[in-house]
Structure 1
Amino acid sequence: MSEESSGRRNLRMPNDDEVFAVVTQHNGGNHVTVRCQDGKERMGRIPGRMKYRTWIQEGDVVLVEPWDWQDEKGNIEWRYSEQDAEQLRAEGHID
């Protein structure tokens, strides 16, 4: 069965130091508040390479890489489309 006929797409999965998160609040500029899969709320920073190309809104599913030196903050590494987020939910990767 091909990828197209099953409807399943290969999605970017988190590396060892990344976690799934849901954007709960847009704080203006390049900062958002995210609720991570590990149960923590973090301040997410949208890097310059994503800032104008990828619009991040409340409710979006993203990948966050927490900072080594300050665990309550992290960088947004990837944003999933609504279809990709539904697939992740269906496969049990996120709540």
Structure 2
Amino acid sequence: MADDFEEDFKDDFEPEDEKPKLQEGEEVIRVRMPKGKEVLGIVEQLLGLRKMYVRCLDGKTRLCRVPGRLRRSMWVRQGDVVIIEPWEYEEDRGDIIFDYRKSQVDWLRRKGMLKDLEEF
């Protein structure tokens, strides 16, 4: 009788729709997308002192910098895909707030988010 109770109890609390299992070699990729006034861009030229020229998706080339709070944790190289937050009072400048990894860039290309940047 105790066995019947345990079986009934287990059936009531099992998840009905389980998450699909990942196949071998597959991984879940979480990609941060630009929000609000943020723009995607590609680093064109490193200028030194954590400043660089970035070609943005909106067609502008901006002089951008890595903010102090991110200097130790973010290393940006030429050709990296980044998220830029343009300054409110000077549209030709901005802050780099996120640097994409290679797997994230591949995901963005598959979804068609970087086609505009590769054209010009």
TM-score in same-fold range (> 0.5): yes
Structure 2: give runs of 5+ residues left out of the alignment. 1-19, 116-120
Answer 1 or 2: which has greater strand percent: 1
Partner of residue 35 from structure 2, selected from 7, 10, 15: 15
Identical-pair percentage: 35
Inter-partner Cα distance in structure 1 for 2:55 and 2:78: 11
Answer 1 or 2: which has greater helix percent: 2
Inter-partner Cα distance in structure 2 for 1:21 and 1:58: 11
CA-CA distance at 1:51 after TM superposition: 1.4
1:29 matches 2:49: yes
Q: State the Cα deviation string for residues 41-88 of structure 1 (Å, max 9, x = none).
A: 000110112212221000000000111110000010100011111110
Structure-1 residue corresponding to 2:112? 92
Alignment of 1:14-93 (within 5 A): 14-93=34-113
Residue 30 of structure 1 aligns to which amino acid in structure 2?
A: R
Structure 1: give runs of 5+ residues left out of the alignment. none
Inter-partner Cα distance in structure 2 for 1:89 and 1:7: 17
Question: Given the superposition, is the C-alpha separation of residues 87 and 51 from structure 1 closer, same or farther in structure 2, using an over 3 Å criterion?
Answer: same
**Larger Cα-atom Rg:** 2
Q: CA RMSD in A?
A: 1.4
Length, aligned pairs only: 94
Question: Post-superposition, which runs of at least 4 consecutive aligned residues in structure 1 deviate over 2 A?
Answer: 4-8
Inter-partner Cα distance in structure 1 for 2:86 and 2:33: 15
With the length of structure 1 as denominator, give the TM-score of the two structures: 0.90
Instruction: Point out the more displaced range, 62-71 or 44-53.
Output: 44-53
With the length of structure 2 as denominator, give the TM-score of the two structures: 0.72
